[in-house]
């Protein structure tokens, strides 16, 4: 598939998913609270991704008066959260439905004056050099057709001293990768992504490190592994199973630091010199 075809597929996929999130959802689900749980997406709190987003905001530090690019803004959770802290946010996405969701969400949270949306692709950002203090993204880099081009563009539009922070899936755990390639999307088990995307393995992380001139840190603030089993297999979504799996993930995170890198999520931090 051509790069343009892949982009169109991604945009169509996320248009459909965002419409499904919004269908019949009351306005109060659009409200962004301090816990950063995205109430537009059913069951997302169980996975703990909101704690990864909180880690991103902590890394950004003071946001009052800052200009931030939210790449692949999705449902607009991070865009609104940063605007609530005083940032002016450019919410960028290929999905027009995502941009509509951001507009709705910004109004409900009374930050519409601080957020504007732009339809653009990561490998060819429609902004001038050094337009932003920081850039953030959630589950985006592994969708790109060229990681090096995407990093080059991001570094171009971020000012010296700025940060690029991305919550990303990880391809380091062979068990998770086997399940992704051979189980998800079959036997009624949901596959929440397109076939083109691929989690970032060690090789891709090193490609990002080279593109960033070595200025890359990889963090694992939340170990997410065992709890993915009851999350994806509907018949196992029982309170007892979910509590046990959450406990096992917390145990690894707190007591076995060397295993943290084998969870499904990671946070990448690039500092522009």
The series of mean pLDDT values per 10 residues for the chain, 273 residues long, is 68 83 85 94 87 96 97 95 98 94 96 96 93 95 87 96 96 85 67 70 92 95 91 70 93 96 96 92
The pLDDT score that the predictor gives to residue 115 is: 98
The pLDDT score that the predictor gives to residue 194 is: 58
The pLDDT score that the predictor gives to residue 188 is: 61
The pLDDT score that the predictor gives to residue 57 is: 97
Q: Is 0.85 topped by the overall pTM?
A: yes
In terms of DSSP bridges, do strands 132-138 and 158-169 run parallel, antiparallel, or are they unpaired? parallel
Domains of the chain in start order, with CATH, are: 3-271 (3.40.50.150)
Q: What is the DSSP letter of 116?
A: E
The pLDDT score that the predictor gives to residue 264 is: 92
Structural contact between residues 90 and 135, judged by C-beta atoms closer than 8 angstroms:
no
């Amino acid at each position: 598939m051509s790069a343009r075809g892949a982009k169109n597929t991604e945009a169509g996929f996320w248009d459909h998913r965002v419409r499904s999130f919004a269908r019949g959802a009351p306005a109060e689900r659009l409200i962004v609270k301090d816990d950063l749980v995205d109430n537009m997406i059913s069951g997302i709190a169980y996975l703990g991704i909101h704690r990864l987003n909180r880690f991103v905001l902590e890394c950004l530090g003071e946001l009052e008066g800052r200009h931030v690019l939210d790449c692949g803004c999705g449902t607009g959770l991070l865009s609104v959260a940063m605007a609530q802290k005083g940032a002016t946010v450019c919410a960028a996405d290929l999905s027009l439905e995502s941009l509509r969701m951001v507009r709705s969400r910004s109004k409900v949270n009374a930050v519409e004056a601080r957020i504007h949306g732009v339809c653009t692709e990561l490998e060819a950002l429609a902004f001038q050099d050094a337009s932003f203090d920081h850039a953030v993204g959630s589950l985006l880099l592994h969708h790109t057709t060229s990681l090096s081009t995407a990093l080059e563009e991001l570094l171009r539009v971020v000012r010296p001293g700025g940060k690029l922070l991305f919550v990303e899936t990880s391809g380091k755990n062979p068990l998770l990768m086997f399940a992704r390639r051979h189980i998800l999307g079959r036997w009624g088990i949901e596959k929440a992504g397109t076939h083109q995307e691929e989690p970032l393995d060690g090789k891709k992380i090193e490609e990002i490190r080279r593109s960033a001139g070595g200025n890359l840190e990889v963090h694992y603030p939340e170990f997410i592994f065992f709890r993915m089993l009851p999350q994806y297999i509907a018949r196992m979504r029982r309170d007892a199973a979910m509590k046990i799996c959450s406990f096992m993930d917390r145990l690894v995170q707190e007591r076995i630091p060397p295993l943290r890198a084998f969870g499904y999520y990671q946070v990448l931090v690039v500092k522009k010199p």
